[in-house]
Amino acid sequence: MYTALDHQFMSEALIQAQNALYLSNPNPRVGCVIVKEGQVIGRGFTQKVGGPHAEVQALADVRARGIDPVGSTIYVTLEPCNHMGKTPPCVDALISAKPAVVIVSMVDPNPLVGGKGLERL
């Protein structure tokens, strides 16, 4: 189902998540990589509480490079949040970006999210 490139890009997203090791607590460490035409065009990881989540940071990275994320593939290590907390729902930012595909490594075990973000995508 997934290609070797999908595995490679998800591995890169996991590396991004490591950058949040001592930064994101109590939020989960999440990494995100955005790919277009086989090239990584954006990276992000969850920032300190109240700061951007991985997906939003990666989209900001893409836009800072002057690239349009429409039609991209987004790899994220945890299902995007779908509820309002200290930040707006990440799923809203992803929907607005109009990617072709979003690949998620796991469903969020938090009952506030738990599959709801994936349903919206």
Residues assigned a catalytic role: 55
Eight-class DSSP state of 29: P
Per DSSP, the residues of 80-96 read PP-S-SSS--HHHHHHH
Q: How far apart (Å, rounded) are the C-alpha atoms in residues 1 and 52?
A: 31
Write the DSSP symbol of residue 27.
S
Instruction: Name the strand (E) or helix (H) holding 32.
Output: strand 31-36
